[in-house]
Amino acid sequence: MAIDRRHLGYALPPFTVEVTPARIALFRKAIGADAGAPDIAPPTFMKAVEGEQNSSRRILEALGVDLKRVLHAEQQFDYLGPIRAGDTLTVQRTVTDLYDKKNGAMDFIVIESTVSHALRGLLGRSRQVVLVRNPQARAGAAA
Amino acid sequence: MRLDQARPGEQVAEYQTGPIPREQLALYAEASGDSNPLHLDPAFARNAGFDDVIVHGMLGMALLGQLLDTQFAAFTLGCFDARFVAVLPVGQSLHCTATLAERTTTTLTLDLEAFDSTGKSIIVGRASLTPPA
């Protein structure tokens, strides 16, 4: 089932995230990081920041997507400055593209996010492509 | 292969993970806030068409990032992209490689890839970094 294109531009209200030292330490432990400065977040920590408050699930639910059909297809990060322990960050997430492939067997949702610091400005941009698998559509197309 | 002698297309770094157990998926879910049951609940994963839970794509990307953090620590990361081309079942390991794509005076561009133990491509990525001054 195609995702309603009226969701294009859907945005969550901006939210703030406190990056505690414990938060970075837990993330480093989860990915087996033992090198690097303990107070600087690893590169993909930006995903944990933007995913705060269950934001990814809330976006997918707002678009009417069944979580069982969802896979992460692509992820891009642009880094403008480091995320550090003690930072208070503001996250903005917006659905910037919706498209489908293979006669609707695969829907794609593009979510772009920004992570900013009040004094240091924009620290990073993230672009996530979510794949929604629609097996019925494929079966229908094949029949 | 020394980085300063490498030519485009040559591998310049690699990073091997151990098997990724369920406990690590649970820890990553807690650390990242990604609590999708596809990575935690075998019944949910089977219902979604998989044999067992699968590794978070973002955990795989984080492990690719470990290659950058451990072997290009003096560089400043500008962009880091990944395409998740296949799913990795729980219990599998990843072999991550970096190949020189392009080098200018200001930017080092690396092609990144993560393979399972059979050599199947799981993640294809790219990173651009600024060399230390």
> Mind listing the domains of chain A with CATH numbers?
7-142 (3.10.129.10)
Supply the mean pLDDT for chain A. Answer: 92
The CATH number assigned to the domain holding B92 equals 3.10.129.10
Q: How far apart are CA A68 and CA B37, in angstroms?
A: 9
- Per-residue pLDDT, averaged over B76-88, amounts to 97
Residue B119 half-sphere exposure toward CB, CA atoms < 13 A: 0
Q: How far apart are CA A36 and CA A41, in angstroms?
A: 9
The answer to whether A71 contacts chain B (CB < 8 Å) is yes
Q: What is the pLDDT of residues A105-132, one digit of tens each?
A: 999 999 999 999 999 999 999 999 999 9
Strands in A9-87 per DSSP E: 15-18, 70-79
What does DSSP assign to residue B35? -
The answer to whether A81 contacts chain B (CB < 8 Å) is no
Tell if the CB–CB gap between B78 and A35 is shorter than 8 Å: no
Residue A80: pLDDT over 80: yes
Residue B82: which domain range?
Answer: 9-20+55-130
Work out the pLDDT band at B73, boundaries 50, 70, 90. very high
- Within-domain flag for B49: no
How many separate domains does chain B show? 1
Q: How far apart are CA A29 and CA A37, in angstroms?
A: 13
- Within-domain flag for B105: yes
- Within-domain flag for B107: yes
- Within-domain flag for B81: yes
Q: What is the ipTM of this complex?
A: 0.95
Question: Min CA distance, B41 vs chain A (Å)?
Answer: 11
- Within-domain flag for B15: yes
A112-140 exposure pattern, b = at least 16 Cβ within 10 A, e = fewer: bbbbbbeeeeebbbbbbbbbbbbeebeee
